[in-house]
Amino acid sequence: MTDPDLAAVRQWVQIDAAGFPSIPSPVLTTGQGTPYLRAPGVVLIAQPRVHLSGIADFLHGFDPQLEFAQYLQDPTELPSGAQLCKTAGQLCYASFTPRRTWNAEANRYFQNLKASGHGSVLEHASYSFLLYGISRSVTHELVRHRAGCAYSQISQRYVSGKVLRFVERPEYVEDPELHAWFERRIDAAAADYAALTEALAARQKSGVELLNAEARTDLRKKVQQAARSLLPNETEAPMVMTANARAWRHIIEMRANPHAEVEIRALALRVYLCLAAVDPFLFGDYRLVRLSDGTLGVETEHPKV
Ligand SMILES: Cc1cc2nc3c(=O)[nH]c(=O)nc-3n(C[C@H](O)[C@H](O)[C@H](O)COP(=O)(O)OP(=O)(O)OC[C@H]3O[C@@H](n4cnc5c(N)ncnc54)[C@H](O)[C@@H]3O)c2cc1C
């Protein structure tokens, strides 16, 4: 990677004392106080925790001449995801003897694995992110990824207008007219939402059947599930997303890609940067590339692992 701008992009990643990366996204407000964000915020909140000493009994149960027991004495520590996938992969061939690929050669091990397309081994390591500063249109695209993925997204039926935020598209940011238009639009959406929930709550009190419910929470839901109909695609829709390393690789390749939409590309790029920081063995084969529209994508020699 020679382009200094590309090198600087990796500095977006902040790694906390526990070794968890994130790329934050600041919150801005309009003159009327409507909150909005301009970029995806990504925070790794869970990653594998590997504890191999428990397999000692299993290793000791084989012919001592095979020397399986010394498998646990590998002096090179790997990131937890890489260690998990490597041990899982080595189990397939009972590669526990001193002639196995040691952790010091993990890079070669994973290069071979990726080159041969043995991606199922990568499914053992899962990573969970909080994703925010992302619009409802992006999340609608993201949740199309099913294999190896889990989602928990903010419920527009449950939460009130107090947590309503919006996402400004990059096309508007530098254009004073489009930016002012965006701010007017989200101020109006927030005000309309507040007025509509009030009007619906008034109808609920007056006994409109469709808005009726037994429980207090359900009463609120009946109002909010109707009021959300006016919210635009640029409403923020945060989620916690978990996927295994193979699924993340697929998503990064499909979405940090010139054919992908620009907002989901920005999200996939940030997820990639965090994953590459936390586990270079599983995600270090990607290269950052500058695309013709000035945004960034990634490429690899080993797609579709
Ligand atoms: C640039 C771009 C444009 C798009 N445009 C549109 C569009 O116009 N309209 C639209 O509806 N969608 C569109 N999509 C969404 C796309 O069709 C997929 O639904 C989405 O990318 C999820 O990817 P995936 O199918 O690989 O699923 P994932 O769930 O990510 O699956 C990963 C892989 O697992 C395998 N797999 C998963 N599920 C199954 C299954 N049920 N059966 C067999 N194999 C399976 C496949 O090999 C698949 O590639 C677009 C996506 C991109 C990236």
pLDDT at residue 145 above 90? yes
Residue 164 is encoded by which pair of tokens?
Answer: 């309503």
Instruction: Write the pLDDT tens digit of every residue in 200-231.
Output: 999 999 999 999 999 988 999 999 999 999 99
Q: Is the CB of 250 under 6 A from ligand 1?
A: yes
If pLDDT is split at 50, 70 and 90, which confidence band does 277 have?
Answer: very high
> Which residue puts its alpha carbon closest to atom 30 of ligand 1?
145
Which residue bears the tokens 């991606």? 119
Tell which CATH architecture fits domain 4-47+125-299.
2-Layer Sandwich (3.30)
> Which residue puts its alpha carbon closest to atom 4 of ligand 1?
260
Please list the residues that pair with 23 across neighbouring strands. 42
- What pLDDT score does 217 carry? 87
Average pLDDT rounded to a whole number, residues 55-84: 98
Statement: the pTM of the whole predicted model exceeds 0.85: yes
Instruction: Write the pLDDT tens digit of every residue in 13-47.
Output: 999 999 999 999 999 999 999 999 999 999 999 99
Q: Is the CB of 146 under 6 A from ligand 1?
A: yes
- What pLDDT score does 207 carry? 95
- What single-letter DSSP state applies at residue 236? B
Q: How far apart are CA 289 and CA 285, in angstroms?
A: 13
Beta strands in the chain (DSSP E): 14-15, 21-23, 27-29, 35-37, 41-46, 126-132, 149-153, 166-167, 239-244, 287-290, 296-299
Residue 12 is encoded by which pair of tokens?
Answer: 């977006």
**8 Å CB contact between 38 and 28:** yes
39: CA distance to ligand 1 center in Å?
24
Q: Is 54 exposed, middle or buried (0-12, 13-18, 19+ CB in 10 A)?
A: exposed
Instruction: Write the pLDDT tens digit of every residue in 131-142.
Output: 999 999 999 999
153: CA distance to ligand 1 center in Å?
20
Q: Is 243 exposed, middle or buried (0-12, 13-18, 19+ CB in 10 A)?
A: buried
- Nearest CA to 197 among 209, 215, 211? 211
Q: Is the CB of 99 under 6 A from ligand 1?
A: no
Residue 128 host element (H or E): strand 126-132
Choosing from 138, 139, 142, 146 the residue with most ligand 1 atoms within 8 A of its CB, the one to mutate for a pocket test is 146
Instruction: Give the pairing of strands 21-23 and 239-244.
Output: unpaired
If pLDDT is split at 50, 70 and 90, which confidence band does 7 have?
Answer: confident
> Which residue puts its alpha carbon closest to atom 8 of ligand 1?
141
Average pLDDT rounded to a whole number, residues 63-79: 97
Average pLDDT rounded to a whole number, residues 279-296: 96
Which runs of consecutive H residues, i.e. helices, occur in 170-215? 170-173, 176-205
Catalytic residues: 255
CA 61 to each of CA 50, 55, 58, 80, 114: distance values in angstroms, whole numbers, following the listed order: 21, 10, 5, 25, 31
- What pLDDT score does 1 carry? 45
142: CA distance to ligand 1 center in Å?
10
Instruction: Write the pLDDT tens digit of every residue in 94-104.
Output: 999 999 999 99
In the chain, % of residues over pLDDT 70: 99
Sequence ranges of the domains in the chain? 4-47+125-299, 53-124
pLDDT at residue 246 above 70? yes
Give how far the C-alpha of residue 290 lies from the chain's centroid of Cα atoms, to the nearest Å. Answer: 21
Q: Is the CB of 202 under 6 A from ligand 1?
A: no
